[in-house]
Amino acid sequence: MESIGSAGLWAGFLAFVLAMLALDLGVFHRKSHEIGFREAAAWSGVWVGLAALFNLWIYVTYGTQIGLEFTTGYLIEKALSVDNIFVFVMIFTYFAVPAMYQHRVLFWGILGALVMRALFIFVGGALLEAFHWTIYVFGGLLVITGLKMLVQRNKEMDPGANPVIRLARRFLPVTSHYFGQKFATRVDGRLVFTPLFLALLVVEFTDLIFAVDSIPAIFAITRDPFIVFTSNIFAILGLRALYFLLAGLVSRFVYLKPALSFVLIFVGLKMALVDVYKLPVAVSLGVVGVILAIGVTASLLRTRSAAPSPSGSAGSTATRKAS
């Protein structure tokens, strides 16, 4: 599979990602604290700005076609990541995760997600390269997922029913108490895992499920592994800040899930019909942008009288007792 990414470019991008993660956790979030709206907005601006600068470099260096592929892939992944926020809110509420520790869970959860996404991208790319018919499988999977989301858009997940949590509670010593920001600790000389660890497990498992949808969606736009990887990673890196920015507002996006459903159906059909007609990337970008704009605008108009104050934090949603 041909790629614009040389070995040096891959190494440089990975070094940049690791440096940003180290700066994030080691400097700006070395001490656990509650993430406020202003801090979340600032970090969201940083991540979106970095993605925009990288996209500009892609346009200048490799041309409009490759640049549009990155833009479209990033937009799709960013939109799909908003759906993760709904799930994160439910996870943190169920486990009553204190606001000051939510960033820690998301940091390690997203670090694991980066590794899983990389594996999915390279395995998916290899399958598409070796077996052309898998493109129809991926396309069909996206259409089915989109239709399922459309039908079950009001169905809420129950973190306690997650099979990973059931297995953890069955085979691991789990405590219902928090011990600061620790995922595990010793009580009376015995190693036990805290609810923070269980929340992390559900976050990781959830991203694994989301990756099954999001990775094929980007392959519908481009087959270049470097563009697929970088657009995906930039969207994921900004997910934590986006969570703290929008967690208190997710109830307003009542039409976002239907919009995301139509996006998945569209890119799935685009992938499945690629041998019949190859839709230009610019058209795909326009269609995805219009669908999302309609979903967001309609949601805000529908809920404009119930807008919550942005001064609060995501942590205020955590009210249930961990069990």
What value does the mean pLDDT take over residues 35-43?
81
Query: 186 in helix, strand or coil?
Result: strand
Where is pLDDT greater, at 51 or 311?
51
Does 16 map to a domain?
Answer: no
Q: How many CB atoms lie within 10 A of CB 44?
A: 19
CA–CA gap between residue 320 and residue 323 (Å, rounded): 9
Does 142 map to a domain?
Answer: yes
The pTM of the full predicted model, rounded to 2 decimals, is 0.79
- How far is C-alpha 198 from the chain's CA centre? 19
Residue with tokens 């009210």: 319
At residue 60 the predicted structure's pLDDT band, cuts being 50, 70 and 90, is: very high
- Whether pLDDT at 321 is above 60: no
The predicted pLDDT at position 306 comes to: 56
- pLDDT tens-place string over residues 222-267: 888 899 999 988 988 888 888 888 776 777 788 888 888 898 899 8
The predicted pLDDT at position 320 comes to: 43
CA–CA gap between residue 179 and residue 166 (Å, rounded): 22
- Of 12, 32, 51, nearest to 242 (Cα)? 51
- Whether pLDDT at 209 is above 50: yes
The predicted pLDDT at position 26 comes to: 61
- Whether pLDDT at 314 is above 70: no
The predicted pLDDT at position 312 comes to: 47
Number of domains, the chain: 1
Where is pLDDT greater, at 108 or 35?
108
- Quick check: 103 and 24 in contact, CB under 8 A? no
% pLDDT > 70, the chain = 87
The predicted pLDDT at position 305 comes to: 63
- Of 73, 76, 79, 48, nearest to 228 (Cα)? 73
Q: Is the dihedral of CA 271, 123, 161, 178 positive or negative?
A: negative
- pLDDT tens-place string over residues 291-300: 989 988 998 8
Does 148 map to a domain?
Answer: yes
CA–CA gap between residue 221 and residue 69 (Å, rounded): 6
Does 1 map to a domain?
Answer: no
Does 19 map to a domain?
Answer: no
In degrees, to the nearest 5, what angle opens at C-alpha 4 toward C-alphas 286 and 142? Answer: 45
Does 137 map to a domain?
Answer: yes
Does 36 map to a domain?
Answer: yes
Least confident of 33-42, 64-73, 122-131, 273-282: 33-42
State the residue range of the domain holding 117: 32-304
The predicted pLDDT at position 318 comes to: 47
CA–CA gap between residue 128 and residue 126 (Å, rounded): 5
- Of 93, 146, 64, 4, nearest to 323 (Cα)? 93
